[in-house]
Amino acid sequence: MHAKKKIEIIIEAPALNGVLAILDRLQATGYTVLPALAGSGRHGPWDEAGQVTSAGRMVAVLCILDATRLDATLEAVSAYLANRIAIVAVSDVQVIRGAHF
């Protein structure tokens, strides 16, 4: 097993391309994008029901990367998301194929 870092980013769909561009530019290319269907936060519960456009839809970006790329990636993502709705969490993970990240 190989120790890596996982960044979880929950954002509004319109911010997705900007986040992915940052991850690609910084070569943090081990990521997956998933729809965020519902949740609850500081302003109470929400869900995607009734969303006509992508403006209010939420997505989750899961990114696994080497610890040496973590600080630069978080700095760039944080700057981009500074004035947007976002949750960013970091955790330690173990992966089987370390060379993939």
Tokens of 15: 């911010």
pLDDT at 97: 85
* Mean pLDDT score, 88-99: 92
pLDDT at 26: 95
Question: Taking all residues of the chain, what is their mean pLDDT, rounded to a whole number?
Answer: 91
- Quick one: residue 82, left, alpha or beta (phi over 0 = left, psi -120 to 50 = alpha)? alpha
Structural domain that includes position 68 = 2-100
**DSSP code per residue over 35-46:** EE-EEEETTEEE
pTM: 0.87
pLDDT in tens, 27-57: 998 899 999 888 888 888 878 776 666 667 8
pLDDT at 19: 98
Q: Are 19 and 25 in contact (CB under 8 A)?
A: no
Query: How far from chain centre, in Å, is Cα 57?
Result: 14
- Give the separation between CA 58 and CA 68, rounded to whole angstroms: 29
Q: Are 8 and 88 in contact (CB under 8 A)?
A: yes
Q: Count how many domains the chain has.
A: 1
Percentage above 70 pLDDT, the chain:
94
Residue, of 99 and 34, whose pLDDT is higher: 34
CATH number of domain containing 72: 3.30.70.120
